[in-house]
Amino acid sequence: MKPYAATFGGAKVLVAGGLGFIGSNLALRLIELGARVTIVDSLDPDYGGNFANIAGDEPRLDVVVADLRDRERLPELVSGCRYVFNMAAQTGHVDSMRRPINDLEINAAAPLMLLEAVRAECPDAVVVYGSTRQIYGRPEYLPVDERHPLHPVDVNGVSKQAGEGFHTLYHQVYGLKTAILRLTNTYGPRMRIRDARQTFIGIWLRRVLEGDRFEVWGGQQQRDLAYVDDVVEAALLAAAVPAAHGRVFNIGGAPPLSLIDLANATIAANGGQGGFDIKEFPAERKSIDIGDYWADDNLFRRTTGWSPAVDLATGLKRSIDYYRANLARYL
């Protein structure tokens, strides 16, 4: 039995970014656990929100289309909540460099507004914040643990670091029960695949399903990947385990591999169909690439008992099967 098996039953829960990739998977899992779930999502076309992500489950979810920067809406949204999961974000690294003020507003100002609403309306709620490994920048050592220096290489990393700082501060000063998860590359069903804005894996999957070749930039970089179900499990444990509150954790996934090996694994998951070309990094991406990265997430494992359950081959196969059946909804 899961340690949180009875934790969420009947609880009012808010999932910010709940029509997006991780948020929708989390919302659907919470429904299975008996929670009363409200999704809030801006449905900005540049990001991951998509009603296809909850297709067939709409009657079980209360969906509010709103922007977290609309502070007038937030009190009613969080009122009475026992758990708040903030998975809303601007995740595009190049986008953050092109539109830095927008990135700051979404990834720093909006989380602060949400924390203020929680402090005023439901100060006993647990707030789980989805952060990113990007705040570490280029690793000084591997694997990267939570003690690694923070020196982000793009606006997105700086903004997410600020968002983290507000959660830590509100725990220390106001006693809010916050938990911060620094996520590695997450993949799986319901991610954005029409382009590479959310993750490079998405566009790879689209290309192989459409019978086209995809591009691998560089190729020797070592990365770890986390399947979305494992990330959802981590978020639930971060909320349910009191020892996780007030802390920051890395969340990793499968053992690291090169991007070339990942590209070959993607083709293998598609029954051996597909191909790729190795390309030089585009200049605007090379300047903000972090090189090799994989996480040391032993702190979270010791604190909560979590460990990834889905290996890379299985996760890629599940992803391809999902998009093969639902491709038109995501293009």
Q: Which residues contact 44 (CB under 8 A, 6 or more apart)?
A: 67
Evaluate whether residue 183 is within a structural domain.
yes
> How many CB atoms are located within 10 Å of the residue 101 CB?
10
Evaluate whether residue 6 is within a structural domain.
no
Please give the C-alpha separations between residue 178 and each of 59, 116, 217, in angstroms, as whole numbers.
30, 13, 37
Evaluate whether residue 329 is within a structural domain.
no
pLDDT of 1 reads: 58
Q: State how far the Cα of 105 lies from the Cα of 183, in Å rounded to an integer.
A: 20
- Bridge partner residues of 277 (DSSP): 215
Q: Are 137 and 153 in contact (CB under 8 A)?
A: yes
Q: Domain range spanning residue 75?
A: 12-191+225-253+294-310
Q: State how far the Cα of 198 lies from the Cα of 182, in Å rounded to an integer.
A: 16
Q: Which CATH number belongs to the domain containing residue 299 in this structure?
A: 3.40.50.720
Per-residue pLDDT of the chain (331 residues; tens, 9 = 90+): 577 778 999 999 999 999 999 999 999 999 999 999 999 999 998 888 999 999 999 899 999 999 999 999 999 999 999 999 999 999 888 899 999 999 999 999 999 999 999 999 999 999 999 999 999 999 999 999 999 999 999 999 999 999 999 999 999 999 999 999 999 999 999 999 998 777 899 999 999 999 999 999 999 999 999 999 999 999 999 999 999 999 999 999 999 999 999 999 999 999 999 999 999 888 877 888 899 999 999 999 999 999 999 999 999 999 999 999 999 999 9
> How many CB atoms are located within 10 Å of the residue 56 CB?
8
Residue among 238, 217, 271 at smallest CA distance from 22: 238
pLDDT of 317 reads: 98
Residue among 66, 77, 69, 64 at smallest CA distance from 104: 69
Side chain identity, residue 296: D
Evaluate whether residue 237 is within a structural domain.
yes
The answer to whether the pTM exceeds 0.85 is yes
Tell me the Cα Rg of the chain.
Answer: 19
pLDDT of 259 reads: 97
Q: State how far the Cα of 172 lies from the Cα of 298, in Å rounded to an integer.
A: 24
Evaluate whether residue 2 is within a structural domain.
no
Evaluate whether residue 152 is within a structural domain.
yes
- The domain tally of the chain equals 1
Evaluate whether residue 287 is within a structural domain.
no
Evaluate whether residue 27 is within a structural domain.
yes
Q: State how far the Cα of 104 lies from the Cα of 106, in Å rounded to an integer.
A: 6
